[in-house]
Amino acid sequence: MKHFKLTTESIVNVFGVKLFRIELTIDCKWGNKGDKGGFVEKEDNISGDAWVYGNARVSGNAKVYGNARVYGNARVSGNAKVYGNAWVYGNAWVYGNAEVYGNARVYGNAWVYGNAEVYGNAEVYGNARVYGNAEVYGNARVYGNAEVYGNARVYGDAWDKSPLQIQGTKHFICTSKYFHLKIGCHEYTFEYWKENFERIGKENGYSKEEIKEYGLYISLAINIYGLNNKK
């Protein structure tokens, strides 16, 4: 039995789709009968004991179910699924065919999309992006401006050593995934940067001082995480 109903209060999202405010029809762990929730396109967007509240919005064929919660200004759309005991909140956005489940948390300004999966006790937050066929799971943490994509896997306690993030003189530098650095629009392994940073710097108009500066950042990353030659 559904524990909510659609009300007549509605908004139109950025895609021109009408969403309806939901309201509890029974007393339950989410509140009392009559308490308002967030916005959904249709009743099928929510099932089980899940709840959507605050200014959160669920649309398209997206599913929020199990004991999951979506709240704050979060968005879940497309064919995305949020289930289990997962939470999506803040200004986070989960869309495409992405799935967030288990005890996972996605929040802040983070995006999870494409065919990506976040599960277990993993957390994705800040301005992080997880997309493509990437998976983040176990006790992993992905945050800041980090990007995990392609067929990447981040798991276990992979980010116990927090991702490196430095605002350099010319471009931002961060560990986009283990043993990979992203400087500006360029992303390579630590090993590749170590061998080629001077050439790459010259090709991108860096001064001698800036090349030296970024060389020190690369050395710092290697000193923190170690060196792995896997591509």
SS (H, E, C) the chain: CCCEEEEEEEEECCCCCEEEEEEECCCECCECCCCEEEEECCHHHECCCCEECCCCEECCCCEECCCCEECCCCEECCCCEECCCCEECCCCEECCCCEECCCCEECCCCEECCCCEECCCCEECCCCEECCCCEECCCCEECCCCEECCCCEECCCCCCCCCCEEECCCCEEEEEECCEEEECCEEEEHHHHHHHHHHHHHHCCCCHHHHHHHHHHHHHHHHHHCCCCCC
- Specify whether the CB–CB gap between 32 and 49 falls below 8 A: no
Q: What local confidence, expressed as pLDDT, does residue 230 receive?
A: 42
Q: What local confidence, expressed as pLDDT, does residue 156 receive?
A: 61
Place of tokens 């990979």: 180
Q: What local confidence, expressed as pLDDT, does residue 185 receive?
A: 80
Percent of the residues in the chain that have a pLDDT greater than 90, as a whole number: 62
Q: What is the pLDDT of residues 185-202, one digit of tens each?
A: 888 889 999 999 999 999
Place of tokens 């116990």: 160
Q: Spell out the residues 6+ positions from residue 89 whose beta carbon is closer than 8 angstroms to its own.
A: 54, 56, 69, 70, 71, 72, 74, 105, 106, 107
Q: Which residues pair with 23 in a beta bridge?
A: 5, 36
Q: Give all domains of the chain, ordered by start, each with its CATH number.
A: 4-154 (2.160.10), 165-225 (no CATH)
Q: What is the pLDDT of residues 43-87, one digit of tens each?
A: 999 999 999 999 999 999 999 999 999 999 999 999 999 999 999
Question: Whole-number mean pLDDT of the chain?
Answer: 89
Burial of 226 (0-12, 13-18, 19+ CB in 10 A): exposed
99: amino acid identity, one letter: E
Q: What is the pLDDT of residues 141-158, one digit of tens each?
A: 888 788 888 777 776 655
Place of tokens 């998976």: 135
Which two structure tokens, joined as six digits, stand for 196?
């080629």
Least confident of 167-176, 185-194, 207-216: 167-176
How many Cα atoms are found within 13 Å in the side-chain-facing hemisphere of 22?
33
Q: Which residues pair with 62 in a beta bridge?
A: none
Q: What is the pTM of this model?
A: 0.70
